[in-house]
Amino acid sequence: MSAQILDGLAYSKQVRQQTLEVIKGLSRPPELGIIVVGQDPRSAVYVRNKQRAATEVGIQCHVCPCCAEISTTGLIHVMGSNNKHPAIDGYIVQLPLPAHIDLDVVANGVDPEKDVDGFHPLNQGLLLRGSPRFVPATPRGIIELLKHNGCTISGKRVVILGRSTIVGRPLAAALLLNGALGDATVTVAHTKTEHLQEVCREADILVVAIGRPRFVTSDFVRQGAVVVDVGINKTNGGLCGDVDFASVKEVASAITPVPGGIGPMTIAMLLKNTLESCQRRTMRGK
């Protein structure tokens, strides 16, 4: 029997509607900044989607384009303007960045209280300690989608295939948090993991964020496991994930599609993080 499809597109619309209802009751609309370096075509699509989603829920979204040749120092100067701007509740620097930009310097340059991507080392440390200010949007979206569909996390064995600082590592920390949304037993695997298929087959919930088209086949998945595909890859046949959807859906109990799975949830959680930042700043009189 084919797996249940975890429809992130449909649920993200519900989340955005809930966000809109909360924003209607605020004394002022939240404001989100997006800094874009260069003219990467995929980034342009992502930014347009974020702009449109922000506008729909009542968040004022400001896009700041920068030339591809900007230096790390120049980008930090632009970020400083967002850090100081009293109306900006949160902002992101759209990835990927040109190879000459120092990502560590950029991550450190964001005001941690406006870091709605959750990439600043301080915010990553707070998440690791179990008291997060911001849970990064993609990990938060994964957890919220699982919860919405009745997929139990507490006590389950979760294997995360991929160890990036954007998905794999923060997701592992979030799944270890105390409470209904965490309390998982987490293994982080990667391409250097020995006996990788066997490790993945131990998972009750398998999250794949490895950046390789259709890398995970049914041989990686235990019968009845829940599979979350974070990857999005452009191939000659169109967009696909890191999971071979056709084969895996026949053994999994539930699976996210690509597109229409985690991508829309990531945007919805970015908006929620921006709303929550606005609420905190308003309480502090900022």
**Tokens standing for 97?**
């960045």
CATH code for the domain of 196: 3.40.50.720
Task: Tokens for 286, please give them.
Answer: 């900022």
Look at residue 284 in the predicted model and tell me its pLDDT. Answer: 87
Instruction: Say yes or no: 101 and 147 in one domain.
Output: no
| Total domain count, the chain | 2
Q: Which pLDDT value is given to residue 250?
A: 97
Q: How many CA atoms lie within 13 A of 66 on its CB side?
A: 22
pLDDT by residue (tens digit) across 169-192? 999 999 999 987 799 999 999 999
The structure's pTM equals 0.96
- Predicted confidence (pLDDT) per residue in 249-280, tens digit: 999 999 999 999 999 999 999 999 999 999 99
Structural domain span for residue 60 = 27-111
Known catalytic residues are 50, 94, 117
The residues facing 62 across adjacent strands are: 33
- 146 with 240, same domain? yes
Average pLDDT over residues 208-225: 97
In whole angstroms, what is the distance from residue 9 CA to residue 249 CA? 18
> Is the same domain home to 194 and 148?
yes
Same domain, 196 and 234: yes
158 and 257 fall within a common domain:
yes
Q: What is the pLDDT of residue 49?
A: 96
Answer yes or no: is pLDDT of 1 > 70: no
Q: What is the distance between the alpha carbons of residues 279 and 265, in angstroms, rounded to a whole number?
A: 21
Same domain? 96 vs 162: no
In-domain check, residue 120: no
